[in-house]
Amino acid sequence: MPTWYEVFGFVLTLTLLVVTLVGAYRTAVLLRHFRPRTNPLLSPAENLVRVGFIGLSFAVAWLLGSTPDDLGLAGFSPGEAALGVGLGLGALVVINLVAAGGIAVFGPGIYRPAVIRAILPRQTSEWPWILGALALAAFQEELFFRGVLLGVFDRFFPAASLNLAVGALFGLAHLPQGRLGVVLAGLASTYLGFIFLWRNSLLAPWVCHLVFNAGQVALAARFPQWLKFTEAEGGL
């Protein structure tokens, strides 16, 4: 018989999952029709929400009687960080090749780049702040999707099946980014989940996530003509 701590932990986890997925969907819809005048990544309110989300993720783990080991917070080392860098660079190459192939076969309308365009730096001085915001965002998502959903809930559900389910849901939340956005987001989430399960550490998937996201932003800033090409069908 579950305790009230566990019941509350389950309810809080489900609430956080729904809020995250619905928020990702609604944000992507908004950015298809509206380009903010300031970078959303640099919004103090948004970053405070991320800090609050991190706190709630730790609260869920505590309610369910989990340890730092369950969340993957033990065993941090330079080797794990270096592995994350390598895996992030590999993912950057592979996923961009998949994206290029998909666009070449199905046309630019298969992907909507409004989200990445919105978070591009407006000036060079924004880069350090953007990287810091990306690191915070990556930690928030990894702590919840990997540390909590996989590291804590694998006692209730098979971890591999749970990882695939989370990847599918995360992909569908990116539907406004086009069919290619759904596939890429789902693959990225599943890939990060398997890294977590393999290493039993949050550091490697966190660094991988950060390297991939930072690389995507850097590539988009370096080659803006690619964004214009993908917006050729439909635009903002």
Question: Is-contact 35 236, C-beta < 8 A?
Answer: yes
Give this prediction's pTM. 0.91
pLDDT at 174: 77
- The domain in which residue 211 lies consists of 4-230
pLDDT, one tens digit for every residue, the chain (236 residues): 778 888 898 999 999 989 888 888 787 777 777 777 888 899 999 999 999 999 999 999 999 988 899 999 987 889 999 999 999 999 999 988 888 888 888 877 777 777 788 888 888 899 999 999 999 999 999 999 999 999 998 888 888 899 999 899 888 877 777 788 888 889 999 999 999 999 999 999 999 999 999 999 998 888 877 666 555 444 43
Is 133 within a domain? yes
pLDDT at 111: 78
Is 19 within a domain? yes
Is 202 within a domain? yes
Distance of CA 78 to the CA centre of its chain: 23
Is 189 within a domain? yes
Q: How many domains does the chain have?
A: 1
Is 236 within a domain? no
Angle between helices 78-106 and 203-222 in degrees, nearest 10: 40
State both tokens at 231.
Answer: 């917006």
Is 47 within a domain? yes
Is 235 within a domain? no
Is 129 within a domain? yes
